[in-house]
Structure 1
């Protein structure tokens, strides 16, 4: 069926539409209150079907590349908005604005129901009333908290009050021992009020820290002074300097976006009780050939951020530019939080001044980013391997086994914004497949299936050659995700992989702009090769460490299977109940009896006693 015939079948329902090129690559995802009216507005039907002349250059180019369309019908426009956002994050269409800002940021919170409250960090909504939140913070939250506890003698640990006895913190003058009644609630509240002023006023906090750092330095406590110096740097980096006080108790969220060269900066600022409490930012990549859609960028940023559970819901969302479809976004917010939240673009008063501050911070972020990105390794990788985008988030994969035993896979993540590995994002996989090809296939499919919760990166690095590279592209194509992939094959010496650092002549396989599979044999001194090797080697290390752990578990399984009457089915039953082998080993006769029976329970107890005796004899 050709495109014109497909367009005639469009329904009048709300839904999400997808445009594809003649190679099946996903170009764009959009939502519509009425699919028929919306999609047809992109086209001109006479004398022949072509892109409408009313479109922006970016959309005109997209429609000119469109060969066929698909759509999904949903009950209403609100559902279409949510589905559109979810699919964009999963599938990374070429012409949509792509953000990776849907993470949850930490908050500092205090539970005022407690007799002697303390400040803590959370990423979730804590249960209970009378809990006050500060944030969110993209960086510096822990450093701020540690600094406040350095300056103000609050209760240092949760367990302190329960102990009912003054501890070391009291002796070193970092706590006034409310556990022994050495300070009452009123006196403690004054300390708490002082601590809260430092959250609102980072300049005051930094000044106090510098005094403390000077004191440590003068008393030759240089390590403590250096720790404070590092904290000061982190807090200063996260600080947006503004003396604005709205003279109200309003909670407002501010979004500002500015574009320069190949990136856009997105700054979020959070006004709490009329004062700037915190801020964070992200960068948005821009395709060299495409016009940037500022309106869509704001829509993506707002919907992504407010899709999370948030402890503080603002009265208003202030944006630095006029937006279309504001009513649709406001409806999403009302459905999400059961609260009317206006989206406004103020032209006068203090709120417009806040926008100017946010935009100035966008300018500064872009200036620093442009300096950093001049001749960066990421730009060089894009150019060398014909990548569609400059890779900011990179995932590398490897698997490990020993003669088919303890077969595991590993995924490591490199984050360009961190300029290092993001170890919190690393993942292990227990694999069922017996051969390397099918192991990689199993692992990559499982990763693809998780894109809805953890969006696709910009680049995959596969430990292997052209065969595994083709496999990875087939998997990605089957789900319609736009994702760059390269593979690195180890140099073989006497049929064995050569991993010598600085001398391994590995081959990097990639697919060029004509969809042809090519490879590079770069000099060992080439920093691009060394960077890819570093990613591959970290994936290998992570896979091996997990393999060893799983092998130890399997060895324990084998030893248990040697116990009379304890077969594989009973081991699975024990594992389902206890969770891990060490807990089986340390369990009591009664616990084992409840899972299996008295004879099996006694056999297991006797086995582990005999094993322990054997170890003692060897010692």
Structure 2
């Protein structure tokens, strides 16, 4: 029976392949459970997809593909495709879908952050330096970076070393501020310095940005003063800034005599990991090194190309500042011309993407590869994923969960309902990726549905993790699986339910006998089991974050409700408004006409008056 079913599926897949159009586009492979396995792009869909298979005597993986791809093909039973206007559009769509859906056999670089630049607008009379992650308006804008670490510390050191305009907008005040009195500013607001003299200060500051070591002597002097005053905390903080500035000075034994700006990329696969490293060269100096690592086994040419395209398109994202349009890669890319075309459309500049065979550019690419290998070695030493590996085996997960998201909700008698998500990666809580949500649902099940649905619809903004952990039992596990299935993303799901004794839930590690629910079964582990302790630690952090946001929201709501009651709005009308709008902020955002229609003109007038008085106080 199974053989007949398998043969039927093979025939269906073979038919789908033969009916593929000869257009450029994106193709998707699915397994028997409808789970997305792989996303790829093609100049000609029919030709590209056919190259994965041999058709005689039966449909099977092409013997020329890698073991990883052969395994993926053996699991494939269905094919879908999306036609695009060009191969460049297909590459953009492919990268976007990989990030949003995280297919099982695609490699997803985990580093999807945008890095800061320092910029200065030289067209201003008395320019100052600021940090940005986006392109700034103005013909005289000059960028420095990107800075993979230490941008704010570098900017602070710049203002400590040079008497620049310290405060944004202070020129409008026409009166010298405290910074002039402490000799940190020349008070251009009072005309105490000419534009020509200020330009000399600016020129020296730009030189220091290009060579951060020039900023260190002043910081050493300040560290000594703090130490002499016995202010050891400030002295230590200054010491840390000095060490950080020193680390920005990357030494490379190469003669880059030409004052060039360019980017070098290298992708290395080793020890079951793949690493993409970017070296940023500015003014002939290595300005920064950044490495993004993901788990991947048996990666060959096609997979490496996929990683290169992700790394480059991510580095030069839409509305991202660009210092250089020259890009060099360790490996030759078949898609180089397509990537150039995409970057031209994004930035309105002609980019050059080349793979040098010899010379200093080749050696820089090889140095990027050395850094990638070092990052892989460091990653294997730094992160102990033994508990995650054991959890994956217990719950039948398809991969070791390197990145985990955990969800919890909090409310008090259906008031101040909030949802919370924490993110955990390689043994660390990534607090910059925490998220919280205001909810309108008033029971635990619907609140979790709302929280998970919001998160799933935003996978394009923050890539999905390997694993979701839900604070709840089997019903919430099934709910989460349903939402993930509808999103199309490749995310595993488990749940943990709190043990209840005498109607009380015990959260403390070592005392709780919580249950873990998974597709592989339900487990009650020993209280000292590393797998249970890991999940409890994550669950407790999500609970803490949810409670904290709930308390903050409730305090804010109580204050808002008090003001509305004082304005003469009844409890019943207030309840009706909150139920309809979901939050007090949205009540204030509503128009007079809308509130009058929902309640009456008297209440609408009172809210408008309160709103106007609040605006007056803010002014």
TM-score of the aligned structures, taking structure 1 as reference length: 0.86
Instruction: State the Cα deviation string for residues 527-574 of structure 1 (Å, max 9, x = none).
Output: 543332232222222222333344456554587476379946995899
Which residue of 2 is the match for residue 543 of structure 1?
546
Matches within 5 A, 1:544-583: 544-552=547-555, 555=558, 556-557=560-561, 560=564, 563=569, 567=573, 579=585
- 2:340 maps to 330
Q: What SS does the corresponding residue of 1:250 show, helix, strand or coil? A: coil
How far residue 120 of structure 1 moved from its aligned partner, in angstroms, is 1.0
- Alpha-carbon contact 1:116-1:185 (below 8 Å) kept: yes
SS in 1 for 2:408: strand
The match for 1:532 is: 535
Structure 1 stretch 375-384 or stretch 165-174: which is displaced more? 375-384
1:460 maps to 468
Deviates more, 1:135-144 or 1:215-224: 215-224
User: Corresponding residue for 1:177?
Assistant: 187
Aligned to 1:470: 478
Structure 2 counterpart of 1:113: 123
The answer to whether structure 1 residue 275 and structure 2 residue 260 are counterparts is no
Report the alpha carbon displacement of residue 249 of structure 1 after superposing the two structures with TM: 4.5
For 2:309, the equivalent position in structure 1 comes to 299
TM-aligned CA deviation for residue 445 of structure 1: 1.8
**What is the CA–CA distance in structure 1 between the aligned matches of 2:158 and 2:390, rounded to whole Å?**
43
2 CA distance for matches of 1:327 and 1:135?
Answer: 26
Change (3 A) 1:346 1:411: same
Preserved CA contact (<8 Å) 1:101 1:305: no
1:517 maps onto 2:521 in alignment:
yes
Q: Secondary structure at the match of 2:127?
A: coil
- Asked whether the 8 Å contact 1:330–1:340 carries over to 2, the reply is yes
Kindly report which structure 2 residues correspond to 1:131-210, keeping only aligned pairs within 5 A, or say none: 131-206=141-216, 208-210=218-220
Note the C-alpha offset of 1:117.
1.6
Compute the displacement of 1:39 (Å).
1.0
Match of 1:435 in 2: 443
Q: Which moved more, 1:78-87 or 1:435-444?
A: 435-444
Moved more, 573-582 or 302-311: 573-582
Between 431-440 and 310-319, the greater mean CA deviation after superposition: 431-440
The yes-or-no answer on 1:4 pairing with 2:27 is: no
- Kept in 1, the 8 Å contact 2:210–2:283? The answer is no
**Structure 2 match to 1:15:** 25
- 1:612 maps to what in 2? none
The 5 Å alignment of 1:12-91 reads 12-91=22-101
The CA deviation at 1:45 is: 1.4
Q: Answer yes or no: is the 8 Å Cα contact 1:134–1:277 preserved in 2.
A: no
Deviation at residue 74 of structure 1 after TM alignment: 2.1
Q: Distance in 2 between matches of 1:607 and 1:329?
A: 54
Partner of 2:375: 365
Which runs of no fewer than 5 residues in structure 1 stay unpaired? 609-619
Whether contact under 8 Å (1:244, 1:276) holds in the other structure is no
* Cα deviation digits, residues 440-479 of structure 1 (max 9, x gap): 1222122111112322112211101233222212221233
Match of 2:511 among 494, 503, 511: 503
CA shift at 1:238, angstroms?
Answer: 4.8
Tell me the equivalent position of 1:615: none
Contact 1:565 1:600 survives alignment (8 Å): no
Structure 2 unaligned spans of 5+: 1-8, 612-619
Deviations, residues 297-345 of structure 1 (Å, cap 9, x unaligned): 1122122333332221523211111222322222222332333312111
Contact 2:588–2:607 (Cα < 8 Å) also in 1: no
Change over 3 Å in CA distance of 1:536–1:577 after alignment to 2: closer
Q: CA RMSD in A?
A: 3.5
Determine the C-alpha separation between the residues in 1 that align with 2:37 and 2:571.
60
CA distance in 2, matches of 1:540, 1:558: 28
How far 1:217 moved relative to its partner? Answer: 2.6
- Deviation of the 1:396 alpha carbon: 1.0
Indicate if the aligned counterparts of 2:440 and 2:579 stay in contact, CA closer than 8 A: no
Post-superposition offset of 1:501: 4.8
CA change 1:472–1:239 in 2 (3 A) is farther
Residues 244/210 of structure 1: CA separation in 2 closer, same or farther (3 Å cut): farther
- 1:254-273 maps to which residues of 2 (within 5 A)? 254-273=264-283
Q: Pick from 220, 229, 244 the counterpart of residue 234 of structure 1.
A: 244
* Equivalent residues of 1:33, 1:76 under 8 A apart: yes
Q: Distance in 1 between matches of 2:352 and 2:610?
A: 68
Change (3 A) 1:328 1:231: same
Q: In structure 2, do the counterparts of structure 1 residues 55 and 571 end up closer, same or farther at CA, with 3 Å as the change threshold?
A: closer
